[in-house]
Amino acid sequence: MRLLLALVFTVTLTTGAGAAEIIDRILAVVDGAIIMQSDVMMAVRLELVPAPPTSDPIGAPLDALVVRRLILEEVDRYAPPDPPDAEIDRRLADIRSRVGARFDTVLLESGISLDQLRRYLRDDLRMDAYLQQRFGTLPASDEERRSTTIRDWVTGLRRRANVNVLPR
């Protein structure tokens, strides 16, 4: 009888565990910083990364967040000053207008607070300032060369970093 009860208990536990819903998933680890599926979905829904192709809705945004993390590590090493609150507010207003009425819903569903989004935007502005300082401004005719230089630099950062993109 005990054996039968133990068997029923085991089957019940394994059946319940198999039916569990996945709440979030780790998609990548960049030098110890975790990028979750919810991070990717939030970035896409708030249009913080370019719209992904329908054939791979996770790949391109995930790569953009990996690159962002690599650049932020470099930015944190040199610590450019924080941008003015007015710049962060301007970026936030742009996002709010692009996303429209869905803005509050996206925040709620993504599990991100307005303060967390402001910190995200602050980091974006710090990255922009760092890239501007490091690679300068070039005339419009040289923008392609600047983009190539930054892309090569990011490739070097990626090569030196410990980047693990997990299977999806």
pLDDT tens-digit map of 23-62: 889 999 999 999 999 999 999 999 999 888 888 889 999 9
> What DSSP string runs through 67-86?
HHHHHHHHHHHH-PPPPPHH
Structurally, how many domains does the chain consist of? 1
* 128 domain-assigned: yes
pLDDT exceeds cutoff 70 at 3: no
For residue range 85-100, list pLDDT tens digits in order: 999 999 999 999 999 9
* 146 domain-assigned: yes
CATH number at residue 41: 1.10.4030.10
Quick one: average pLDDT of 13-30?
72
* Domain assignment of residue 127, given as a range: 24-165
